[in-house]
């Protein structure tokens, strides 16, 4: 019978190097970019289908479950119908549907950045294109940050990560670790 000798020092050194590689990869830019892109993709998809986090976020309760965004008020539906006559709308827009998709400006402004080894997701605070009316343009167009603040007061929470997105992020990390361990 053949015997195999293992040099314990070499084995420990190899394992330590792989562990260091994996730790580095989990904090690396490539993984964080993949995670950021997945989060943005899921936020946009969920929001366009009318899903948010509901009012439980108001009370400080952690809620990783998506739920339907609150119904629109009659005055909001009326305003959306009026503005739709004079402004371009997205393909998923419906006057009575709560999905933050009237012009698409807010959803399109959502982006991520990697800061200090973390993914930060936000909507840019840039000024938005003013909506047109029968008499011209609406003055004092609010920024995306102002709109998000208004929506949160109304119970519309859409910037967040649900359980399905967390599972996708775990899968992304596992794939990256497997690739490293194979090399």
| Residue 37 pLDDT | 94
| Residue 64 pLDDT | 64
Structure tokens at 180: 């490293």
Q: How many CB atoms lie within 10 A of CB 46?
A: 20
| Residue 59 pLDDT | 44
Residue ranges per structural domain of the chain: 11-182
Determine what percent of the chain is predicted with pLDDT higher than 90.
8
Per-residue confidence at 144, pLDDT binned at 50, 70, 90? confident
Structure tokens at 76: 């909001």
Rounded mean pLDDT of 147-152? 82
| 30 Cβ neighbours under 8 A, 6+ residues apart | 176
Read off the pLDDT of residues 158-182 as tens digits, 9 standing for 90 and up: 888 888 888 899 899 888 888 877 7
In the three-class reduction of DSSP (H, G, I as helix; E, B as strand; rest coil), residue 113 is classed as strand
Per-residue confidence at 58, pLDDT binned at 50, 70, 90? very low
Read off the pLDDT of residues 4-52 as tens digits, 9 standing for 90 and up: 777 778 778 888 887 887 777 777 788 899 999 999 999 888 888 888 7
Rounded mean pLDDT of 152-158? 78
């Amino acid at each position: 019978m053949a015997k195999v000798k293992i040099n314990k020092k070499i084995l420990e050194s190899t394992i330590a190097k792989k562990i260091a590689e994996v730790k580095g990869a989990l904090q690396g830019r490539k993984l964080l970019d993949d995670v950021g892109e997945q989060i943005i993709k899921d936020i946009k998809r969920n929001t366009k289908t009318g899903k948010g986090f509901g009012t439980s976020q108001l009370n400080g309760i952690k809620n990783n479950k998506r739920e339907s965004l609150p119904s629109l008020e009659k005055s909001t539906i009326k305003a959306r119908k009026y503005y739709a006559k004079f402004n371009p709308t997205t393909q998923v827009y419906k006057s009575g549907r709560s999905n933050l998709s009237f012009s698409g400006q807010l959803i399109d402004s959502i982006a991520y950045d990697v800061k200090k080894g973390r993914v930060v997701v936000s909507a840019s605070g840039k000024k938005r294109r003013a909506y047109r009316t029968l008499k011209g343009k609406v003055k004092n167009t609010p920024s995306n940050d102002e709109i998000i603040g208004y929506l949160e007061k109304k119970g519309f929470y859409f910037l967040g990560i649900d359980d399905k997105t967390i599972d996708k992020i775990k899968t992304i990390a596992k794939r990256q670790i497997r690739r490293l361990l194979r090399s």
